[in-house]
Structure 1
Amino acid sequence: MLKTFKGKLVFGTLAITSIANLILTFYISKNLNLNLQNTIKRDMNNIKIMAVNNIKFNSRLIEEEDEKDIPWKTISDINSNFKCFVAMSNKDKELIDYSGKLYYEEPMLDIIKESKNEKSLLKLNKKDNYYLATYNYPIYIDGEFYSNLIVQNNYEDDFNNKNRTLTYIVMAQAILLIIISFVINNMINRMTYPLKRLTNDMRNFGEGIIVENIVISSSDEIGELSNSFNNMREEIKNQIDIIVEEKERVLHLQKLSKEFFNNATHELKTPITAISGYAQVLSENLESQDEFTKRALERTIKECEKMNVLVQNILDISRGRFNSEKK
């Protein structure tokens, strides 16, 4: 299939379309992942803002002896609003309080350790059927470290929605590729049909089979090629007719030439035979002739013999029986 023009065109088009789809799929997947990460970052930022504001607000309302209840109130408010695991740890990385379901403990411990009570960190983990985001934010109030805010939330639904969307996109691309393949195949069939016909007609024409003019209404290169073929066909046909006419004329000339040679040789042989005969008769009475007459008769007989040989050669040539050894 790849050896034909149609096969190469179909394969090239499908290859380019497939590569374009793969690039598009990769780009869409990357953007979906980026959107999911941005969603997670927004959620974590909202939780952070709420936690900081909650702590500052409760610090102004609660008396000093009740300050130990501030973490719990903050954690409870966040858990009730965002339905996620929330915890706070002191500067020694020990948990003060927590609320909600902890899905995966290892990233929480790692993120507290890496933070060093100084920087906020976000980790994304794929664990079993969970897609987890673990976030740590060190809270400072009036320039002093207050606690680490640790948040862990399950984004399995968002992750599955992202995968489902990507699956739908891939399926749509596959269906579109099939439709494009069908359309391209039909278009190429229409484009290559005149070429196939041209090929067959040129092959038949080369084998001497009579072909009709190819009528293609398109004004593109294929139409120009068909017109060129039709013109070439007419030119060759005209040349063949001329050659046939020339052949007939040459055969006629050969016939006339043969007739001329036959007539000429016949007309020549008759007088030569007569001259030769008379010369031989005269040569029988050489005793009564003078010396000059004797030589003249001998010379006449020899020349007549040469003329006979020459006429015979001309006759043989006209009959196609020329022998190169004859002189």
Structure 2
Amino acid sequence: MLRTIKGKFIIGFFLIFSLSFLVLNQTVKSVIRSSNEKIVTSDLIELKKNSIVYINQAFLINHYKNNELYFDDMADEIVESLTHSTGSNVGVYSVDGNLLSSSNKTVFSQGIDEDLEKAINGKNAYHITYDRNKAQVFFSYPVVIDGAKVGILRFSKDFNLLYKQSGEILNIIFYIALAIFVAAFLFSYILSRHITIPIVKLTEATSEVKKGKLDVDIHFPRKDEIGQLTINFNDMITRIRDQISTIEKDRDRLKELNEQEKRFFDNMTHELKTPLTSIQGYAEIIKEKGESDPKFFNKGMNHIVEESRRLHNLVIKLLEVSRETSKNRHSDRIDAGTILKDVCESMKFRAERYNKKIICEMDEDLYVYGQTNRLRQLFINLLDNAIKYSLSNSKIMIKAKAVGDQVLFIFKNPSDPYDDTQYTKVFQPFYSINQKVTEEGSLGLGLSIVKTIVEEHQGTIKMFYKENHTIITIELAYMKVEK
């Protein structure tokens, strides 16, 4: 029985190695041939582009029309210029395939080849001729000016080095593969005499694993493939146990993500409710007072407009977060300080409702390259979060200044301390530091949007806790004012 198994191994290895050798050899040839064709095609495409540009410019400079007579007159000049610029032999033909001029008459005096014949019929074509270790490509295409065919350009280019190197690579791979397969076959012959007993033990072990027993552990004191196989088998069992543990952790993580997603949608309700409540409150007061208080009327109408825009931008941003469509926006040179100042003014009323005060300190002419609406949304979200999560009767400090080549924005508010590990998660969607805050929304959406906007402007954002304050810093590239 053992001899039969050994014989099957030898025959099987011989057939496998032989077929693999043939397949590998043919595959390498096919890959190299395909690669050479791609290189030749790419080179010819570039050759055509450059020559077309030259001819179009020549017609334009000489005010020629799309007439083949002009093309005939320019034949010698075309040959001289393109031969010099491309390093190839160039032939200029009439639309009927008659040679008008060439850089090497010997090369182009062999009659009408396949590529030239196709070019006469209005097609681009090339063919390769081989002579021992030499490979020459003939490439022809019709020249069309303003929709009219005026002649034919033909190039002759040597690719001797490319095909010579390809042949050398094929020979090297052939001998290397042959040596590897011969050595492997001889080694498999020796190995087959000692492989049957370990196979039986491995089969028994795999049967135990099939029954669900993962405490199987086998050992063979050998430093060959069988020994490695046993090590791999033991590693596989260990990895299966690890994978089971990972699956259990992923299950718990998925549960946590589902809970975060639920909190996200709950908090989103409050994010949308905030501007709606504000709009409704001002609208009801304006309805009662009418225009009897012009100052309040104007202030209320302005606030309604701003909150309406904020609500609209929030809905748009939700779509962008879900679809990842926040790219390819038009940017301009804008004064970020002015935008932040306007946002601080508009958010003061909201802060006063919570007995909090916003203090703004900023330099003049803080120009950055960005999008006005996106930066406004960035500042609104940061101020809104500062108002929500700052301590009662606190002062929210907002600073903006130029530091070197950057504009630095600092949002600082008194708050309770957070766990250090939370700062790595606050910018993730669905995550909220303070899970108890439900009336005013949470960081589940605001800071994820903030991070997206900062990244759109190639900036950086950091959040940390220091001296009983939560501090968020943003840096954007500074566009200095020319004086």
TM class by shorter chain equals: 0.5 to 0.7
Distance in 2 (CA, whole Å) between partners of 1:55 and 1:20 is 52
Partner SS, residue 173 of structure 1: helix
Distance in 2 (CA, whole Å) between partners of 1:116 and 1:217 is 69
Distance in 1 (CA, whole Å) between partners of 2:105 and 2:37 is 21
Partner SS, residue 176 of structure 1: helix
**8 Å Cα contact 1:72-1:98 kept in structure 2:** yes
Match of 1:7 in 2: 7
Alignment of 1:164-175 (within 5 A): 164-175=168-179
Match of 1:120 in 2: 124
The verdict on how the C-alpha distance between 1:66 and 1:91 changes in structure 2, with shifts beyond 3 A counting, is closer
Q: Does 1:44 align with 2:44?
A: yes
The verdict on how the C-alpha distance between 1:178 and 1:128 changes in structure 2, with shifts beyond 3 A counting, is closer
Distance in 2 (CA, whole Å) between partners of 1:47 and 1:56 is 14
- Spell out, residue by residue over 1:26-77, the C-alpha distance to the aligned partner (whole angstroms, 9 max, x if none): 1111111111111111111111111110011122223669976633333223
Match of 1:183 in 2: 187
Q: Does 1:146 align with 2:128?
A: no
- The one-letter code matched in structure 1 to 2:148 is E
- The one-letter code matched in structure 2 to 1:111 is D
Alignment of 1:226-305 (within 5 A): none
- Spell out, residue by residue over 1:111-163, the C-alpha distance to the aligned partner (whole angstroms, 9 max, x if none): 32343241111112223442221111001000111210111222122111111
Distance in 2 (CA, whole Å) between partners of 1:217 and 1:17 is 21
- The one-letter code matched in structure 1 to 2:174 is V
Q: Does 1:57 align with 2:57?
A: yes
1:6 is displaced (CA, Å) by 2.6
Match of 1:25 in 2: 25
* Structure of larger gyration radius: 1
Q: Does 1:219 align with 2:201?
A: yes
Residue from 59, 79, 83 that aligns with 1:79: 83
Partner SS, residue 190 of structure 1: coil
Query: Structure 1: which 5+ runs fail to align?
Result: 195-215, 224-327
The verdict on how the C-alpha distance between 1:58 and 1:221 changes in structure 2, with shifts beyond 3 A counting, is closer
Query: Structure 2: which 5+ runs fail to align?
Result: 206-483
The verdict on how the C-alpha distance between 1:129 and 1:162 changes in structure 2, with shifts beyond 3 A counting, is closer
The verdict on how the C-alpha distance between 1:43 and 1:129 changes in structure 2, with shifts beyond 3 A counting, is same
- Spell out, residue by residue over 1:89-127, the C-alpha distance to the aligned partner (whole angstroms, 9 max, x if none): 012311121114754754754432343241111112223
Distance in 2 (CA, whole Å) between partners of 1:25 and 1:68 is 50
**8 Å Cα contact 2:114-2:127 kept in structure 1:** no
**8 Å Cα contact 2:32-2:166 kept in structure 1:** yes
- The one-letter code matched in structure 2 to 1:176 is I
TM-score (norm 2): 0.37
Distance in 2 (CA, whole Å) between partners of 1:5 and 1:219 is 16
The verdict on how the C-alpha distance between 1:130 and 1:104 changes in structure 2, with shifts beyond 3 A counting, is farther
Provide the identity percentage: 15
Distance in 2 (CA, whole Å) between partners of 1:161 and 1:191 is 43
**8 Å Cα contact 1:91-1:117 kept in structure 2:** no
Q: Does 1:159 align with 2:163?
A: yes
Deviates more, 1:94-103 or 1:149-158: 94-103
1:177 is displaced (CA, Å) by 0.8
- How many residues align structurally? 199
The verdict on how the C-alpha distance between 1:71 and 1:117 changes in structure 2, with shifts beyond 3 A counting, is farther
The verdict on how the C-alpha distance between 1:219 and 1:109 changes in structure 2, with shifts beyond 3 A counting, is closer
Superposition CA RMSD, Å:
3.1
Which structure would you say has the larger RCO, counting Cα contacts within 8 Å and 6 or more residues apart? 1
**8 Å Cα contact 1:55-1:71 kept in structure 2:** no
Partner SS, residue 82 of structure 2: helix
- The one-letter code matched in structure 1 to 2:127 is K
- Spell out, residue by residue over 1:238-297, the C-alpha distance to the aligned partner (whole angstroms, 9 max, x if none): xxxxxxxxxxxxxxxxxxxxxxxxxxxxxxxxxxxxxxxxxxxxxxxxxxxxxxxxxxxx
Match of 2:136 in 1: 132
- The one-letter code matched in structure 2 to 1:34 is S
**8 Å Cα contact 1:88-1:96 kept in structure 2:** yes
Distance in 1 (CA, whole Å) between partners of 2:54 and 2:189 is 66
The verdict on how the C-alpha distance between 1:116 and 1:4 changes in structure 2, with shifts beyond 3 A counting, is same
Report the structure, 1 or 2, having the larger helix content. 1
- The one-letter code matched in structure 2 to 1:46 is E
